[in-house]
Amino acid sequence: MAMVTVFRASISRSLPTSFPNLLSSSSNRNSIPKKHRLLCYAASSQTKTIRSEVSFCIGTHLIPHPKKVERGGEDAFLVSDYNGGVIAVADGVSGWAEQNVDPSLFPQELMANASCLVEDEEVNYDPQILIRKAHAATSAVGSATVIVAMLETNGTLKIANVGDCGLRAIRGDRIIFSTSPQEHYFDCPYQLSSEMVGQTYLDAVVSRVEVMEGDTIVMGSDGLFDNVFDHEIVSTVAGHGDVAAAGIS
């Protein structure tokens, strides 16, 4: 994989209401007895209000592989504000270059198709079906890993993942949810392909996580997660409040 594609999406609420600081429970760390001495004195969450509608606030950042800067790398992505928001990354398999095939064409077409299908009735806001239909509509030769995340306005983040792209959901200073990469073996991820030998939407790992206002979603290709530790992602996110402006630096 050739490029780091990073989505950093924070969850915002359409109706502002009182909400406790998600970091407050760890802010008085030094005064809290250790677990092995007694339980934690952390703020109760019973004052939390019922969620109203939430949606993404999205920023993106691309870092092409140094050797592939000229043609822009082999990643493609999709951003949509439909419903609570849709984000997706497709990462072209570089081996196609040896067959005189531009590895970026397949993921670009995949994301273009997905963009057109986001509101499709048959897709029905299901990321796995979006992958199926976007893949079926490709004509380019090549293959790509792909991850799609769709946010329902009630806070349900629905994810379908084929290969070694990834997603982290971060709440305060903690990762609450991670995807797991799918590889056949080292450096050979599950991938959608123009050929019959690849995987399909049926191979996607399909998962959901309930997110809330203030959470941050980081989505990227393996170029991010192979090179940046999770704790570095968390600390970087914590240091940059403005998602749309910051990206990952």
Q: Which residues contact 232 (CB under 8 A, 6 or more apart)?
A: none
Q: Pick between residue 175 and residue 228 the one whose CB is nearest to its own copies.
A: 175
From the CB of 190, what's the least distance to its own copies, in Å? 8
Distance (Å, whole) CA 134 – CA 184: 23
Q: Pick between residue 60 and residue 199 the one whose CB is nearest to its own copies.
A: 199
From the CB of 143, what's the least distance to its own copies, in Å? 5
3-state secondary structure of 209: strand
Q: Pick between residue 81 and residue 232 the one whose CB is nearest to its own copies.
A: 232
Distance (Å, whole) CA 244 – CA 195: 37
CA distances from 77 to 25, 83, 106, 114 (A): 36, 18, 12, 10
From the CB of 97, what's the least distance to its own copies, in Å? 10
Distance (Å, whole) CA 30 – CA 64: 43
From the CB of 19, what's the least distance to its own copies, in Å? 12
Q: Pick between residue 58 and residue 209 the one whose CB is nearest to its own copies.
A: 209
From the CB of 244, what's the least distance to its own copies, in Å? 26
Distance (Å, whole) CA 230 – CA 219: 12
Q: Pick between residue 8 and residue 51 the one whose CB is nearest to its own copies.
A: 51
Binding-site ranges for its own copies (CB under 8 A): 25-26, 29, 32-42, 44-46, 48, 93-96, 98-99, 143, 174-178, 180, 182-185, 187-191, 193, 195-200, 202-203, 205-210
Q: Pick between residue 35 and residue 139 the one whose CB is nearest to its own copies.
A: 35
First-to-last alpha carbon distance for the chain, in angstroms, is: 20
> CA nearest 106: which of 154, 151, 139?
139
Distance (Å, whole) CA 147 – CA 203: 12
